Chain A
Amino acid sequence: MAAVLPSPLTAPPRPRAGPWRLALRRLLRRKAAMVGLAVVLFFVALALLAPWIAPHDPVATSWGAVRKAPSAAYWFGTDELGRDVLSRVVWGTQASLLAGVVSVGISLLLGVPIGLAAGFLGGWVDGLISRVTDAFLACPFLILAIALAAFLGPSLSNAMIAIGVSATPIFVRLTRGQVLSVKVEDYVEAARAVGNPPWRIALRHVLPNVTAPLIVQSTLAIAAAVIAEASLSFLGLGQQPPAPSWGSMLNTAKNYMDNAPWMAIWPGLSIFLLVLAFNLLGDGLRDALDPRQR
């Protein structure tokens, strides 16, 4: 049974738990998703409290302590310039979380309005947008991101823009699909019959229904964006040293995998845990918000 939102033509809803509350309950029950959420919150806390938690200055070099194995002074060891890996991992959380969230934010900001327009306006606008979206989706994502990042110049913010723009078509397609399926629902027909202008119908009636799959997709996209940032950094196009980010730490560390594996293990593990957490959370959200799953 589909989650039904109050229609202007039916009687006012009885006081029972709304669909969002129900979804939340389902989510809380799914343990894997809760673990994911906890890990995400842990990393967010790490990012916010970095200045107080990190034992050393993440960019302070120390010629005498180059590539030292983990010890009491340096819990995670040091890197090729004598910097503390633990501090860099902690500070790097900011960059990785930003990379994930801002990229997806850009995709949403660009993709949702375009998708709404395509779905709603139909006709040649839809045709044009769909063909262009298809064209984007036919090109390998990483190639688009690399080309854009190279164009903008190597930096974390440019990598975020590049990833965000490259991922936009996915959200366009998702939004458009949702709009198309919702467009034919009764309450939308009714709203139109009453004379609401398209933009109001879009905002007040269509958009709330699109939100659920968008939330799911966004969570999963954040996971993918963190990996994409690491990939761009691996190619030298993401966050540039000396500022720490897990991806650029991996990029440097790959040259020392043999004699200083701790340089790669900790950032790699952090990426893995954060991305896994987002994926679990996204999976849980999908199950919780999918009305067909009972």
Chain B
Amino acid sequence: MLEYLFKRLATIVPTLVFVSMLIFGLQQLLPGDPAMILAGEDQDPALIAHLRAKLHLDEPLPLRYAYWIGGVLQGDLGESVRTQQPVLDLIVQKLPVTIELALLAMAVALLIGIPTGIIAAVGRDTPWDYGATVFALSGLSMPNFWLGILMILLFSVQLGWLPASGYVSPAEDLRANLAAMVMPAIVLGTGIAAVLMRHTRSAMLQVLSADYVRTARAKGLSERVVVLRHALRNALTPVITLGALELGTLLSGAVLTEQVFTIPGFGKLIIDAVFNRDYAVVQGVVLVTATAYIVLNLLADLAYFAVNPRLRH
């Protein structure tokens, strides 16, 4: 296992280098002059010149990449030109928000995905199967911004149960925080629930036909005991490791959900930065999230390895 770990660690560095080049390159691809858009309405030529110098815009591409990467390696992710805040500060400010949203969404996904997956597997090819499948897939089939706006109109405007948008830190007011996060978490979570359902179902199906389960059945144990005690435990392992991998999907989906619900997390930060050509912000945030994703991937693979001895060849 240690050998596997070292091999995987060795691949992380080149991957991260490629990520940095990819996101840097993509930003440079964006058309338009960032100095112009950042100079605001008045387009003062002196200001534009100052911004061009500050952002090294007139220097060759590899040099600009070097400036940025050099800074990153020293812990300086640059500054948001729009608000003059250091990118690292912005990330630290927003990381807890995004993590909380991701965790809550994952909780929603697990709450929906696993039971529906079990139902679908146990009631295979019966209406229960179809019903559970359609239910779980519905979350994946709806544009989450559409669902978000519908939920706001229903739960905030019509019923007045939940706040329409915004965010309150849990340290300040836990109840308000959860009230604000419920809808976004549901919108995000239903999308991933389908994936979890699928995997739970197929894992359960595999396990339900396995020998040890047949033995349990032969022993006369009730179906429920068979399912819950024997099959489920083994089926859950791949599902949970999959959960870690869905972080990538979560971050993508969070972009629009945060926009609609005005949750000040990474997603909203990146979107605004792309349209404002605030390069440093996009590059810094993507680098951080990519690193997190890669590390989580590694941990998930290690966990899978540890649990499943057959894979260690």
Contacts and interface: CB of A to CB of B under 8 A. Distances in A.
Scoring A134, A135, A140, A257 by chain B CB atoms within 10 A of each residue's CB, the highest score goes to A140
27 contacts: A30-B125, A32-B130, A32-B133, A131-B11, A135-B16, A135-B18, A135-B290, A136-B22, A139-B289, A140-B270, A142-B255, A143-B252, A143-B282, A144-B26, A150-B275, A223-B140, A223-B141, A230-B146, A231-B143, A234-B256, A235-B256, A247-B143, A258-B157, A264-B146, A271-B141, A275-B142, A280-B137
B248 A143 contact: no
B interface SS class = helix
A14 interface: no
Given A151-B26, A264-B146, 18 more contacts: A32-B129, A131-B15, A138-B248, A140-B270, A140-B289, A143-B282, A144-B26, A150-B31, A150-B274, A223-B141, A234-B143, A264-B149, A268-B146, A272-B141, A276-B137, A279-B140, A292-B206, A293-B202
A250 interface: yes
B169 interface: no
A134 B150 CA distance: 36
Contacts, number: 141
B14 interface: yes
A258 B143 contact: no
Interface residues of A, number: 48
B26 A250 contact: no
Contact of A138 (B140, B198, B256, B290): B290
Interface string B134-149: 1001101111011001
Interface in B1-49: 11, 14-16, 18-19, 21-23, 26-27, 29-31
A258 B143 CA distance: 18
B194 A279 contact: yes
A143 B274 contact: yes
A147 interface: yes
B153 interface: yes
B286 interface: yes
A31 B130 contact: yes
Interface residues of B, number: 55
A130 to B, nearest CB: 8
A143 B270 contact: yes
B188 to A, nearest CB: 13
Contacts of A32: 129-130, 133-134
Given A31-B130, A143-B252, A283 B14 contact: no
Interface in B253-277: 253, 255-256, 270-271, 274-275
B304 interface: no
Contacts of A235: 256, 271
A137 interface: yes
A150 B22 CA distance: 15
B145 A234 contact: yes
A292 B14 CA distance: 36
A142 B130 contact: no
Interface in A219-250: 223, 227, 230-231, 234-235, 247, 250
Contacts of A230: 143, 146
A132 interface: yes
B18 A132 contact: yes
B180 interface: no
Contacts of A139: 19, 22-23, 286, 289-290
Contact of B15 (A135, A151, A272): A135
B205 interface: yes
Given A134-B11, A151-B31, A141 B130 contact: no
B231 interface: no
A98 interface: no
Interface in A123-170: 130-132, 134-144, 146-148, 150-151, 153
B137 A279 contact: yes
Contacts of B198: 283
Scoring B27, B31, B140 by chain A CB atoms within 10 A of each residue's CB, the highest score goes to B140
Nearest to B138: A276
Scoring B11, B16, B22, B153 by chain A CB atoms within 10 A of each residue's CB, the highest score goes to B22
Given A141-B248, A147-B27, A293-B205, A279 B149 contact: no
B293 interface: yes
